[in-house]
Structures are given as C-alpha cells and as structure tokens.
Structure 1
Amino acid sequence: MKLTSIPSLYRNLRRGREILAVLRRYGLADWLSRSPRLPFRNWITDRSGVPLTQYTRAERIRMAITELGPTFIKVGQVLASRADLVGVELAEELKGLRGRVEPDSADQVRATLRAELGDDFETKFESFDFAPLATASIGQVHRAVLLDGRRVVVKVQRSGIDRLMRQDLEVLEGLAQLAARVDTLAIWGPTDMVRQLRPMILHELDFNRERGNLKQFAEMLADNHEQVVIPAVVDRLCSRRVLVMDELAGVTLASLFSGRAHPAAKDLGSRDDEAAGPPQSPQLPRLSKANLPSGFGTRLAKIYLKMVFEDGFFHADPHPGNLFCLPDGRLGILDFGMTGRIDETLRESIEEMLFAIHAGDRRRLTRLIRGVGSPRLDLDQAALEIDVTEFVDTFGRQSLDRFDLAGSLNQLSEILHRHGITLPNQSALLIKMLISLEGTMRELGVGFDSLDIVQNYMRRVIWRRLSPKRRLRQARRIYLENEAFLEEAPEQVLAILNQARLGQLQLRLDPKRITPAVNRLVVGLMASAVFLGSSLMLSYEVSPVLFPNAPMVGLSRLSILGLVGTLASMTVMTALCLSIWRSGRD
C-alpha cells in the first residue's frame, strides 16, 4: 500500500465499512442460495421479510446496489448499458434500478440556489414551486415561472451529493484493486472498468455538460423543428449545479403506455426518477396509443437514425419517460445527461456488420467483432466462430420487416460477454440506445413502417459509400496514414536492429499472466527437491530416528526429518495437482 493512500483510507473508513457490510450480507445470501438443505438459509431477509435466497442472483445484485446508494445506482445504470461486460440477464435487471431518496427540503434547495445564483435569486423568478416535481438520486426538478411569464423547469443538484459520490468512487477504486488480485475477477479488468466509469459518473455532477448537450442537439436538429423539439436553456440562470430550461407541455410516452391520460410534463435529467408531480393543465388533448398523430412512430425512428448515422451524435436514453408527444404532434426529447458519439470509422464498421449479417458472411462478421471490440489474449477463436455462425443463421435469414433488432443485439452482447470481448463505451451506448428505441417502438405499435425506414436507410448507406466525396476523403486518409508510416517505419526498424546488434533488445511479458504459472513451477520444483532430499535422509537413516532398536511393523531406524519432509512434499504436490485440475488448465 502506498503512503499517499493512507489519508484516503482513513477518510473513507466509515463509508467503506458500510459498503462492505452490505456486500457481505448479500454475498452470504448468494452462498446460502446454493445450499438448499441448510436450516438457516432463510435467516437473511429484505425489508419486507422475504428471504434473500428466494431472489435470483441478478435481483440480489440490483437490491444490493440500491441499498448502497446514489453512486452505486449510477454505476449500475451505466453497467445496464454494458451487457458485453455483465451479461444480458444482469443488464436487463439493472435497467430497473431506482433511487429511493428523500427530496431535499425547501431550505436546502434555497441554499443551493443562493450559492449558485446569488442571494437575490428569488427576484429572478416570478414564482418558484419548492415542492419537487420529481426527485432523483443526483438532482430534483421544480417548476418555476420567469419574470417574462416563461414557464420553465429548474433542475437542482442534491445537497452533499458531490462529496458523497467522490467518496464512494474512492472506495470503489479500492475494492477494484482488491478484486484485481483474484484470478477469477482480474480477467474482467476491474480497475480499468472503474477508471472508465469514474469520469462518466462525475460528468453527471456537472450540469453545464447537459446544458451544452441541449444546445448542441437544438442546433443539430434545427432543420427538423417541425418534427422534434429540444427544450431551450436559460443560460443566465444555469450553473454547475442548476439547470433551467423550457417546460414541455406534452404527454410522455410512458404515461400513454401506463394508461394515464394527463401525466405531468417533466424533465428528470436522470434515469432513476422517483415520482411525478401533479397533473398537467386540462387544455391538453387526451391522447392514447390509439389516437397518436399519424406517422409519430416513423418520425421518432427517423430522428434517431439521423442522429446516429448522419450526425454521429445521439441521445443515448430514448426510454418512454424521456419522450413527449406535444399538442401539435411534434416529438419532444428530454434528459441529455447520457449521450454518445460515433466517428466515421465506427459507423462504417457497424454498417459492415449489418451487411455481413444479411449476407450471411460469418467470417467477415467474426473479424469485425474482433476489430470493434477488445478481445482477451486467450480468446477461443473456434468457439467464437461457432457462436457467430449460430447468430448469423438465426438473424441473417430474417426479412427486414420482421428483423428482431433487440433480440439480435441482446444475443450479440451475450456472445461478447461469453468470450470476454469488451466494447468501447460509445459502441456499448449505441447498442443500449438501439435496444431502448426498439422497445419504445414496440410499445408504441402505431405508425411505424420498419421495412420502409430500414430499406431507405440501406439505400442511403450504399449511396454514401459509393459517393465520390467519400472515396476522395478515404483516399486522402489512406495517403496521410501511409505517408506517416513510411516516414516513421524505417527509423523504427533501424532502431530495433541497432538494439539487437548491441545486445540491448528486451522482451517484456505481462507478470499478471505468467505469475501463476511461475509460482506453480517454483512450488513444484521445491516440493520435488524436498522429496528427493527426504528420500536420501530415509535411505541413510539420518538421526534422529524412529525405532532405533527393535523394528515396528517392519520399519526400523526411520529418519524423522526424512519422514516429515517426504510427507510434506507429497502433500504439497497433491495440492498442486488438485489446483491445476480445478483451474481447468491441465
């Protein structure tokens, strides 16, 4: 342990004990669930008295994350989009995470607004409703009216959440370092995983990032203003912990699916929203799935396909609670805290994967999967090709109008998880977005011609790939890459040859991968040496000896040291053989 980590360890000791207590409780319940005959297996229960052993492992993980608080809930929500890391079953369960938090009091909200907007913040609003419209783990939303009569919603960060999340992330990093010492957990790279999750979590604490996303999407979709609406932000009233934007007076798709006619217009800025506010004004038309505006589903699909395959910047959380149907039939989109970007190379790789699936090209799809993701060094290429073949046989034969997008993406994520191939964050966000969008469209069930949309998209993709502009851009990129390679390669080759000539060429190996094998080799050699030496001591009857005068059971003058050494070395060699056999690498 480094000396610099001692202050952090002391500071987080209490919180770390709380986290370990929760993990120990649910870990013990998981162990008991595999022992149905134990009489005390039902002693550990949840708040309602139901034994934890009656839940599935995925459900217990979700319950443990919920009990650990806001930081772990956010981590769980991020992992819900990483089925390639945690598997489809757990990812689906983590999508149900909800934060059970008490809203900040009016005095706490006033203190936050005073610190961010100044002591005279109330003079900047005609009215401000301190009763929260919705509450989430990071922030809560309030209705307000500006001095010019403009109706807005104000997202206020919860008091003390910044300090709590940073503290929890420090504890999580410590747990990841411990997990990295366990062989069965180290293969998933827990420290790298936490290193990737940390900035994603901390970004949600800065509302300025969401404000920038809102403005960028508004500019990007400005030409589609007759179809989609992005809430406008009020820059002069925004800060790192306060976000003020227009209120959308519409009906959420979530409310239509649940059967409520007049849900509250709301923006939670978070996916673990707790509750909505009072019903919206009665002048809005009563809508249901049956009387949505004509073509609403097609409009929704086209907007998101445009984000992904034309703009390269997409809203990554299109669940029904973030999508509105406005009175004039336009689509309203909320919650831009989670967004994704894809560059031209990634977009072309995704397009080639779609073409490979429909063409039934298994080898090409396998190569693309390995190229897009980061495979483990011990990847079983043959097993991967078998799974990809089954995947292509299942989904490559489906017609476009019946193509199961969610099913194909879920199975692809399961293949990646099974073979330990991790995706870049943006690729994982794209898969998560497409699955959420497909689920929303399935729930919507009206005005959506998937065959027409996909065929039009394929035609645009083919035309873009054959366009002279793309060919020129591709030729320019290849020329620049080859030019850089030809400039650097000779010098690097000469440097390698010079090191070899001087005897300075070194080969570095990853100690984490060779250490277990080296340890077994050393233990085996030591045990063999002890066995050989002990055998010699027994042969030469080295003192002290057993039965020095009269033989016992045919044994006489038996060297004690030789006997002990022989038994010890045989025990070690037996344990070593069992260890190799259990690891499955014999």
Structure 2
Amino acid sequence: MKITSIPQLYRNLKRWREILTVLRRYGLADWLTEFRLPFRDMLKDGRGVPLSQYSREQRVRMAIVDLGPTFIKVGQILAARPDLVGPKLSEELKRLRADVQADTIEQVRKTLASELGDDYETHFQSIDPQPLATASIGQVHRAILNDGSHVVIKVQRSNIEPTMRQDVEVLSGVAQLAERVEGFAAWRPTDMVRQLAPMISRELDFTRERQNLELFAEMFDRRGSNVVVPRPHKPLCTRRVLVMDELVGQPLAQFLAEESSDESPSNEMTAKSRSEIKHRLCESIANVYLTMIFDEAVFHADPHMGNLIVMENGQLGILDFGMIGRIDENLRESIEDMLVAISSGDQNRLTRLIRRIGDPPPTLDESRLAIDVAEFIGTYGKQSFGEFDLTGALNELTDVLHRHLIKLPNQSALLLKMLISLEGTLRELGASFDSLDVVHQYMRGSMLKRLSPGRRLRQARRVYLEAENFLEAAPDELIALLKMARQGDIRVTLEHQKLGPTVNRMVLGLMASAVFLGSSLILAMKVPPLLFHERMFMGIQDLSAIGILGILGSISVMMWLLLAINRSGHLTRGNDD
C-alpha cells in the first residue's frame, strides 16, 4: 500500500474494523465448513441457523448484506459480471435486495426541501408518507401533482452519498491489498474497483436516469412502439430527486402469480384472454429489446419481471432506467459473428472472437481454451431454433470466460446479463414463442445492413480519413524519432513481472548454501569454541559450536524455502499436466 494511502486508512479506520469483523465471521464459517470440524455449527445467522449449512456463494451474499448499501450495490453490479465472479456466484448475487431501514417522511421532506426549495409543497396536492419501494440508494413515494397527475417521487436516502464514497475509498484499499495475493492479482482488483467507482457515482446522480427516460421515451414514440416508460417531470428533477409518471398496472411477476393461482372453471374466458396477453407480451418484449440491440445500439440493462409492468390496456411498461448499455458498431458485428460461428460450428472463429472481444490474461492457455470452445460448440452448435437453450448457452459461455480469466468490457457484460435476464423472462411467460427465431430474423436484417453500399461508403470514408491523418502525422513523428536517436535520447526500459519473489528465493538459497559450506569448513578445522572434548557416540569429538549453529541455520532456511515453493506452486509445475 502506498504511503499516500495512510491518511485515507486512518480516516476510515472504524469502517475497516467493521468490514474485517464481518469478513472474519463469514471467512471463519467457510473454513469450519471446509474442514468439517466438530464445532463448525458455533457461528449462526440472525435466525439461529448455523452458517456452515449455507453454501459458499450464500455466505458471500450474506456478508455483502451485512456490509451495507455500498457493498450491496457493488454486489448487484457484479451480479451482471459472471465472467468475473462465475455463474454460480452471479446467480446468487442476483438475489441481493437492500434490506435497509427506510427514511422517515420527515427526512424525505427535508431532502425535497433542500433540492426543490422550501416551497416544494406548492407543486404537490399530496405525498404518500409510506414508501412504495426502498432500495440501497433511494426510496419511492406515490404523489399527486397540482394538475391531478399521479406521479412517483424517487428520493435519495439521507447521508447515503458520504457513506458510499467512504466505502469506495475502503474498497480501493482492499483492492491494493488483494493485488499482493497471487490468487486475486490475476483479476486485477485495482482496475476492477477503478471501473466500479464511476458506476456507483452514476447511481448517485438521478440526472442520468432522467436523461435515460427521455431518451427511451423519444425512441419508442419515434417507432410507434406499444411500450410505455415513465415520463419525467423535468422542472421537479434534480440529482437527488426524480419525479416521473406512475405506471398503473401489474408487475409481470404478480400477473403470472395471479394466473397460476386462478384455476376455477368459471374463468375460462379470462384464461383465454390472459393467454393472448401473454403471447402479445412475449412478442412485445422480444421485439423491443432486439430493436434496442440491433437497430438503436442502446438497451435497458435489467429486463427482469419486477421491472416490467402489464398495463390496464395490455401494453408493456418498463421501469428502472438507472443502468443502460450502449453498443458500438464493432461490438454489434462481433455479436452477429459469434451467433454465426455457433450456428455453423466454427470453433476456430469463435475462439478468435472471444479473444478479440474479451481481455485475456498474458498466461492464457490457448489449447485449453480451444478445447472448452470445442465442447461448447458440440453442445449448442447443433441445436435447432426451437430447441436452442439460449440461457444455458450464455451461462456456459460465461463459465468458459471465468475459467480462463477472460474479462469482458462493461458494455459486453451488461449485454450478456440482459440477454440472460430477457430469456428468463420469456421462459416465465411460457407462451409458444421462439425467441431465437426472432433473433435470427433481426440478425439477417443487420447482416444485410452490413453489406449495404451505404455502409461500405461510410467505412471507406472512415478508412480514408484515418489514412490521411496517419500520412500527415507520420513524417513529423519519424523526424522526431530520428532526432532523438541522433541526440542519444532513446532509451529501452525492460521491466520484469513477478520476478521479485523468485530472485529473493534464489539469493536466499545461495546464501544458505554458502553458510552451509562455510560451516562445514569450520567443523573440519575445529574452530573454537569446541563441544564434546571427550569421544562420544559414533566418535563425535571436538565439534565447533559455530559450525553446528551455521549448519542447523542453513538447513532450516533450505527447508523453509522448499515449503514456500511448494505452497506457491509445486516444484514439478508444468510437467504434470
């Protein structure tokens, strides 16, 4: 850890203690479970259930909940990154919900007054004191405007911003420590926190969600889509307050739950109409999200059933635009190429695409990756459209990425998470609707666009402009390089990676060998002080005390080196694969 981090560490000392206490508790439970000790049931959760009865993934989720809102938000973000945490932990982290104490209505009114002014009540007929929903960062209340419009107010929780900023500082310190642990260093935790920090900051700014609502409302209006999103009331929106229309309807999960519990024969017409609504919802959901991906290059990142509303007129409503994803042209083309490679069974092309889209580590074992991709193609490459398991394929693909430490860019990971969530929602609807067939249709249209003359002309123009810029800059750069070479200013810097421990062990081994050899000479020359003046067992006599101590010390160091090498990697590593 850097010296400049010490004031930060001191400032957050209390929070560090809290975090270490939680980690020690759940880490100890993991250790007790792994070794099956007789007293492994001594640590229990709030309901008295021994922690050893939970899986490792469940204990990670429980520890995150105990650590508070910032870590819950980080866990929710990591739930969208199965390439980093693995499919099992990713699935468990999706269950994270902020079990936090809601702000009182007095605290909510104080926040509204600070953001909208002391006269904020003049804009509202009433504000429901009971929160409609509570999350880690904000809570939602129903309200009625002066013109009679029914709205919801999303208000940031009091004191959440300084708390989250403090926790981000602590996370940075944890990441710096994790960099020194070989098992964690491969994931580059410092870079990971550096990517997460701005995402958390964006979550604290409701202005971005308002802009996203306006963007998608304009998009659906332009396309004449049968999809509704809440309209923000811009004059009443700030970075900590978001006022938007209330969507009247049922959450999709509640709609399906009511259908499954309604089994009376008198409701035959209702069941029929519900079946038609379900089929129409399937088409709407699939079409709108695939339009976002292939036509608009921007998508709502969380289409789970809690964020989808069945309106009273059968329309589809979408909530929660705090997180959206954007797709550039290269990523979209790579997605299309991957689908083509999977359907055609081209494992070599799929391997190249995985390496191109992801960020593989320097130690990537390409032969093992090729074997895993071949198994993936063998499982999913021959399935027909009607039988294709999209969720299984995406989960298997993320498992391959996780095993080989291949990190995806944020937007690619968000897209992967959205597709898995979308497929799960369509499966829950259970209508006779082949989502992959619709994907194939959109992909055909997108491929035709790629081959269009207009796109080729734009591509040629972009290549021409880049070549022109290169040709203009190249002579000046070359002259500057030659000038530096003539003046002797060119230096070549070689930087070793992770050679420090190896060199230290080598030096320590040489020193131990030298001490052993010198001590042997001292023993042979009987350098005083001497022990055993009279002949002892096996003829031992006149042994140099200095020589004995040197030999024992050098042997101890050699044994310690062997144990250290064995712990960090077997002496035969690379020869037993």
Pairing 1:554–2:539 present: yes
Residues 278 and 429 of structure 2 are in contact (CA less than 8 Å); yes or no, is this contact kept in structure 1? no
Mean Cα deviation higher: 442-451 or 107-116: 442-451
Aligned to 1:462, what secondary structure does the other structure show? helix
CA contact (8 A) 1:366 1:385 kept: yes
Aligned to 2:419: 434
What is the deviation of 1:576? 2.0
* 1:469 maps to 2:454: yes
Residues 323 and 447 of structure 1, relative CA distance in 2, 3 Å threshold? farther
Q: Give 2:164's aligned residue.
A: 165
**For 1:464-522, what per-residue CA distance to the aligned partner results, in whole angstroms no more than 9, with x for missing partners?**
121111212222333334444455566667777777784953233254x2222222222
- CA distance in 2 between counterparts of 1:221 and 1:382 reads 46
Contact 1:70-1:138 at 8 Å conserved across structures: yes
After TM superposition, the score normalised by the length of structure 2 is 0.92
Structure 2 unaligned blocks of 5 or more: 262-269, 572-577
Q: How far apart, CA to CA, are the structure 1 residues paired with 2:450 and 2:171?
A: 45
Deviating more after overlay: 92-101 vs 215-224: 215-224
Contact 2:290 2:439 (C-alpha < 8 Å) held by counterparts: no
3-state secondary structure, aligned to 1:243: strand
For 2:41, what is the secondary structure of its paired residue? coil
Higher helix share: 2
Distance in 1 of aligned mates of 2:431 and 2:99: 34
Give 1:364's aligned residue. Answer: 349
**Which residue identity lines up with residue 298 of structure 1 in the other structure?**
E
Match of 1:507 in 2: 493
C-alpha change, 1:14 and 1:554, in structure 2 (3 Å) is same
Q: Does 1:194 align with 2:193?
A: yes
- The answer as to whether partners of 2:230 and 2:246 remain within 8 angstroms in 1 is yes
Question: Is the partner of 1:441 in helix, strand or coil?
Answer: helix
**Whole-Å Cα distance in 2 between the matches of residues 299 and 68 of structure 1?**
39
| Structure 2 residue 534 is matched with structure 1 residue 535 | no
TM-fit CA distance, 1:154? 0.6
- The 2-side partners of 1:422 and 1:288 are apart by 45
- Structure 1 CA distance for aligned equivalents of residues 460 and 13 of structure 2: 57
User: Which residue does the alignment assign to 2:264?
Assistant: none
The aligned counterpart of 1:206 is 205
Cα distance in structure 2, aligned partners of 1:374 and 1:67? 32
Match of residue 58 from structure 1: 57
1:315 aligns with 2:314: no
| SS of the residue 1:295 aligns to | helix
With over 3 angstroms needed to count, the CA separation of the structure-2 counterparts of 1:190 and 1:289, relative to structure 1, is farther
CA 1:576 to 1:89, structure 2 compared with 1: closer, same or farther past 3 Å?
same
Percent same amino acid among aligned pairs? 59
Matches within 5 A, 1:147-186: 147-186=146-185
> Is the 1:261–1:288 contact (alpha carbons within 8 Å) kept by the matching residues of 2?
no
Distance 1:305 1:180, change over 3 A: same
Contact 1:499 1:505 in 2 (8 A): no
- The code of the aligned residue for 1:23 comes to L
**How many pairs are equivalent?**
562
Match of 2:24 in 1: 24
Q: Deviations over 1:197-254 (max 9, x none)?
A: 1111121111111001111111222223441111110011111111000011112111
- Report whether the alignment pairs 1:563 with 2:548: yes
| Secondary structure in 2 matching 1:259 | helix
Letter in 2 for 1:337: G
Q: CA-to-partner distance for each residue in 1:117-159, whole Å, 9 max, x for gaps?
A: 1111111111211211111121111111111111111111111
Q: Counterparts of 1:371 and 1:355 in 2: how far apart (Å)?
A: 16
Say if 2:515 is the partner of 1:516: no
CA distance in 2, matches of 1:580, 1:242: 57
Q: 1:69/1:551 Cα in 2 relative to 1: closer, same or farther (>3 Å)?
A: same
| Equivalent position amino acid for 1:85 in 2 | L
Judged with a 3 Å threshold, the aligned counterparts in structure 2 of structure 1 residues 494 and 399 are, in CA distance, closer, same or farther, namely farther
* Paired AA for residue 491 in structure 2: L
2:123 aligned partner, one-letter code: K
Does the 8 A contact of 1:295 with 1:448 survive in 2?
no
Aligned to 2:575: none
1:400·1:454 contact (CA, 8 Å) conserved in 2?
Answer: no
Gaps of 5+ in 1: 263-284
Aligned-partner Cα distance in 2 for 1:428–1:31: 32
SS in 1 for 2:299: strand
Matched AA of 1:290: S
Deviation at 1:354, TM superposition (A): 1.1
Moved more, 79-88 or 217-226: 217-226
Pairs within 5 Å for 1:209-288: 209-259=208-258
Question: In structure 1, the residue corresponding to 2:419 is in which secondary structure?
Answer: helix
Counterpart for residue 70 of structure 2: 71
User: Which residue does 1:15 correspond to in 2?
Assistant: 15
